[in-house]
Chain A
Amino acid sequence: MRRREAVEILTAACRRAGALSVATMQAVPVWHEVAPDLPLHMDMLGAMGSASSLGLGLALGAPGRPVVVADGDGCLMMQLGSLVTIGHARAANLTLAVLYNGTYETSGNQPIPGAETADFVALARASGFANACRIAGADELSRQIDGLIAAAGPNMVVIDIAREEPAANWPALSMKKQIQDLRAALAAG
């Protein structure tokens, strides 16, 4: 599956669920290409590894809405302890979608540590996630994503994606503006 296919499926699911969403690193440009109008969205670009923690804060702060985080494998490993924090917090409305290609794509597709040995699904289960699975195909992801987001979590889905060249065009984004927009949208109901 290409990243774009995965993001198309995730953004469509977020739209159906009325979810808050977070994208990080290489997922960001394609997220804004395929769903530029998706509301209630934030990007995590300035602090690689923080998407899962930001997502946890959103989930705890808005327990009545699903929260979906499009994380990267190398990104998640920079705050791997966040899996334990999320499991401990029992964030039932949080779904962590890990786009897995086994490389640090942005810096030139160097293999991540543990690319051949680490098991994110097992790590999530051992950290207290209620549901964790690995999906390789777009059809299967399409079939399962709504149910996963709706399930009492925390949930993790590891999505196998192909290695690609890093994005060349990045949208101009302001976290400051995204946060203020999100606060305003949530306050307006």
Chain B
Amino acid sequence: MTSSAGRNFKPPSPLSAALLIDALRRASISHVVVVPDTVQKSFLAAIGLAPDLTQIMACTEDEAVGINAGLYATGHRPLLSIQNNGIFACINTLRGIALDGAVPTVMLVGLYGYKPTTAPEDSPLRMVNMLEPTLMTWGIPIRCLWSNDDLVGLPQAYEEALNRRGPSALVIPIPTVA
């Protein structure tokens, strides 16, 4: 993803839920605001066993964006765990709060529907191939966590969102593993 996938595509390898949680700890994440996503199933199960990460369940991604803003406003370091379809569902709230309101809104985004035989932009499913163009249209930075090696960049991505005061997406292309 990030434009180069078509030219340099290599199949992703699954993220370890434990290593992803370690990366959240290195980023000093305080809360994970969750609208459940199939791709992040094992990660979500692991969060429930991590007492230092407060999990907040929301009914919709719109709510998650608002809750994230309130947590940030009170001095915390929240992060969202949602799905690509959830991005499509909450674009106006992202626009109004994360972009226009300048609220750091870092989102782990499961790429539901993606089959790792092609680059995401070559997927026949719009829920997959339209994610990056949608985010780019709104100027929302996107990076893909293709493998555990990419987790080293998660704390930096969080700091960038804080400094830029806006949203960013960290895409998880295939299901995490326990």
Contact = CB atoms under 8 A, between A and B. Distances in A.
Contacts of A52: 66
B160 interface: no
Interface stretch (A7-15, A56-64, A136-144, A151-159): A56-64
What's the dominant secondary structure at chain A's contact region? helix
A79 B69 contact: no
A131 interface: no
B75 interface: yes
Contact of A79 (B60, B97, B102): B60
A53 B74 contact: no
B76 interface: yes
B68 A57 contact: yes
A61 B74 contact: yes
B124 interface: no
Given A50-B65, A89-B56, A175-B97, A56 B165 contact: no
B80 to A, nearest CB: 11
**Size category, B interface:** 20 to 34
Nearest to B93: A47
B105 to A, nearest CB: 11
A81 B63 contact: yes
Contacts of B70: 53-61
A26 interface: no
A42 B66 CA distance: 12
Interface in B78-109: 78, 92-93, 95-97, 100-103
Interface residues of A, number: 34
B59 A50 contact: no
Contacts of A56: 63, 66-67, 70
Given A47-B97, A53-B67, A81 B59 contact: yes
B74 A58 contact: yes
Interface of B: 31, 54, 56-60, 62-76, 78, 92-93, 95-97, 100-103, 165
Interface of A: 20, 42, 44-47, 49-62, 79, 81-82, 84-85, 88-89, 175-176, 179, 182-183, 186-187
Given A50-B62, A50-B63, A175-B97, 5 more contacts: A47-B93, A47-B97, A59-B70, A179-B72, A183-B72
